[in-house]
Chain A
Amino acid sequence: MSRLRLIWRKSLNAVMLTLTGVAAFAVVSVLFLILGYLLWNGGKSLNWDFFTKLPKPVGETGGGMANAIVGSLKLLLLAAVMGLPVGLMAGVYLAEFGGKAFSFVIRYTTDLLNGVPSIVIGIFAYSLAVLPVKHFSTFAGGVALGIMVIPITVRSTEEFLRAVPTSLREGAMALGASKWRTIVTVVLPAASGGIITGMLLSLARVAGETAPLLFTAFSNRYWSPGWGQPIASLPVMIYTYAIAPYDDWHRQAWAAGLVLLALVLIANLGCRLVLNRRGAIRSV
Chain B
Amino acid sequence: MSHDTILEVDKLSVEFPQDLSAQPNVVVDDVSFAIKRGQMLGLVGESGSGKTMLALSIMGLVPGLGHPSSGRILLDGRNLLQASDDQLQGIRGGAVSIVFQDPLASFNPVRPVGSLLIRSVMLHQMCGEKEARDRSADMLSAVGIPNPRQRMDSYPHEFSGGQRQRIMVALAAINNPRLIIADEPTTALDATVQIQVLDLLKSLTADCSLLLITHDLSVTAGVCEKIVVMRKGKIVESGSSDNILNNPREPYTRALIDAVPRYGGQRLLTSDSSPAGQPQPLLEVRNLDVAFVQSGRSFKAVDDVSLTLNRNETLGIVGESGSGKSTIAKAMMQLLRPAAGRITFDGQNLQDANQHELREVRRRIQYVFQDPYASLDPRWTIGKIIAEPMHVHHAGTAGEVLDRVADLIEQVELPADAIDRYPAEFSGGQRQRIALARALGVGPDLLIADEPVSSLDVTIQLKIARLLKSLQKKYSLSLLIIAHDLPLVYQMTDRVAVVYLGQIVEQGLTEKVLRSPQHPYTASLLSASIPESFAAVAAKLRATGEPASPLAPPGGCRFHPRCALATAKCAATAPVLTRDDDGTDVSCHFPGKVDAC
Q: Do these two chains interact?
A: no
Query: Which A residues have a C-beta under 8 Å from some C-beta of B?
Result: none
